Amino acid sequence: MTEPVAMAELWRGGMLESRHLGHAVICDEKGAVIEAWGDPQAVIFPRSSCKMLQALPLLESGAADAAGLTEAQLALACASHQGAAIHTSMASQWLANLGLSDADLRCGVQEPGDKEERHRLIKTNASACQVHNNCSGKHCGFLTLTQHLGAGPEYVDLDHPVQQAVKAAFEEVTGEASRGHGIDGCSAPNFATPLVGLARSMAFFAAANPEGDTRDRAAARLTRAMMAHPELVAGEGRACTELMRAMDGKVAIKTGAEAVFVAILPERKRGIALKIVDGGTRAAEAAICALLVREGVLDPDHPATLKRLNAVQRNWRGAEVGIFRKSDGFP
């Protein structure tokens, strides 16, 4: 087994203060490994980085078209949003269009990460709802597919037709049999896969033909939706939103809990997947920036990049006290 490699580190006073280790893989459109760092066979839970895969059955089944879903709704289905009004209003309207309500979701209540919405709830003495959950868009997609299939309401159960369809798509596109499953924060099953399988699936999305077969068209539509609506995929101030904007809608990226990050590069027909073993989000963001810069799709001097890579650390008085950067030799 190949050990994880140093990917990101914090320097203070000329000394190395912290270091994050991880694994990363880049695959081409044929699923072949172009480059890898650490162990490409490391088995991980992709967490929310695989929401595009989880949304494939929504489109392939015809459920999305039957429900008249917009490109923006498809982006929300792939999102880990922060519960801002732009996210919750769309999720609520989506549910209403299905003849459903917040109570039909199975993702659970989550306090919004968006400051304005959090302040609004406090000021009005209101409580967060399930639409505030960062996965509510994905779950609206699950409910749309559930209705289309005429299946029961417990759509997060492993043996439910929705999750069986998700598992089949996940295994087929990663090219890997699932190595088991865990339950995600939103209560949906999350299937384990070698990191190379996740990178392979992102390369499939990158090379998907918008005029091809059903799966190709579905993957191309989801990628296009994410690139066209970065504000829905995460939210203001978030890495996915800011970095996709910095790349002018030419690359789709997606984070996952516990420091997973993926990227879909359509013009290069490449897919990237990485995992920081200690679960440090700051390191995953720095590492994906480093790889995107190396691929020539992200400007190393863009403010969104410098916020995360070669990021100057300042104290509360504004003095420069350190730097967070990629480790030597990576990538």
The letter for the amino acid at 29 is E
| pLDDT tens profile 299-320 | 999 999 999 999 999 999 999 9
Instruction: Count CA atoms closer than 13 A to 214's CA, side-chain side.
Output: 11
**Whether pLDDT at 325 is above 80:** yes
Helices (H), 150-184: 161-174
Could you give the 3-state DSSP secondary structure of residue 98? coil
One of 3.40.710, 3.40.50, 3.30.200, 1.20.1530 is the CATH number of 5-326, namely: 3.40.710
pLDDT of residue 6: 98
End-to-end, the C-alpha distance of the chain in Å comes to 20
Q: Are strands 311-314 and 320-326 parallel, antiparallel or unpaired?
A: antiparallel
Give the predicted TM-score (pTM) of the model.
Answer: 0.97
> Which residue's entry shows tokens 């480093």?
290
> Exposure of 34 by Cβ count < 10 A (0-12 exposed, 13-18 middle, 19+ buried)?
middle
| pLDDT tens profile 152-166 | 999 999 999 999 999
pLDDT of residue 279: 98
Q: Which residues of 261-283 are buried (b: 16+ CB within 10 A; e: fewer)?
A: bbbbbbebbbbbbbbbbeebbbb
Could you give the 3-state DSSP secondary structure of residue 315? coil
pLDDT of residue 290: 98
| pLDDT tens profile 166-200 | 999 999 999 999 999 999 999 999 999 999 999 99
| Local confidence band at 298 (pLDDT 50, 70, 90 cut-offs) | very high
The percent of residues above 70 in pLDDT, for the chain, comes to 100
d(CA 77, CA 232): 9
| Local confidence band at 238 (pLDDT 50, 70, 90 cut-offs) | very high
| Local confidence band at 1 (pLDDT 50, 70, 90 cut-offs) | low
Name beta bridge partners: 12: 15, 322
| Virtual torsion, Cα 50, 55, 162, 184, nearest 10 deg | 30
